[in-house]
A and B are shown apart, each in its own frame.
Chain A
């Protein structure tokens, strides 16, 4: 069973540009979440999608957006890049939340974004 696939693995962008990152979840998983990891702030939740709907959003500016397609693949977009957006962006997929609680979230290898 293939894991969570994120593309690209590495990106270098210039301040002011925009970037789109892609995430393909595990087959059968309908929930996709995005996280940003930086040395200073650690792992922070960006947003979560389920059945093409954003169900939850973290405390990030509107420059960060995302979407989910009917096949559960997800993209996140960052516009007007700033130096502080340099980070490892991680995508996680999980099955539908079950009645007993949260299901396991499985992460991809991440996309390392460097803004120069």
Chain B
């Protein structure tokens, strides 16, 4: 089962505009990661935010995390056509024997129109 839900499922904006995607999850987490996927190819790691962090920046990306609301958002500023992709949030579901296990949301399909 999916840990999180992403909102919206699809987003279409004009080039140059900002894009905001939201992710909600159900259980306590250690960290949350955002990934990008182009047309069914591999996942590209964008950013990791730890549970004790509230905001993180990387280039045109800004991620926030609200553990009290169990939600995160990804903001892409000054969007470009190359940003067209699906975006996924993934949470670290637990510390079972120190194993890494990411639980993914269903993703947001972002389309940037020229």
Q: Which residues of A contact B (CB under 8 A)?
A: 4, 6, 31, 33, 35, 37, 42-45, 48, 50, 55-56, 58, 88, 90, 92, 94, 97, 100-110, 112
Contacts and interface: CB of A to CB of B under 8 A. Distances in A.
Interface in B24-63: 30-31, 33, 35, 40-45, 48, 50-51
Q: Looking at B45, B50, B102, which has the most chain A CB atoms within 10 Å of its CB?
A: B102
Interface residues of B, number: 29
Closest 8 CB pairs of A and B: A56-B99, A55-B99, A43-B104, A107-B43, A109-B42, A102-B92, A101-B30, A102-B31
Interface in B86-109: 88, 90, 92, 96-107
B2 interface: yes
B40 to A, nearest CB: 6
Contacts of A108: 42
Interface of A is mostly: strand
Contacts of A37: 40
A44 B43 CA distance: 13
Contact of A106 (B41, B45, B101): B45
Contacts of A104: 33, 45, 48
Contacts of B43: 90, 92, 107
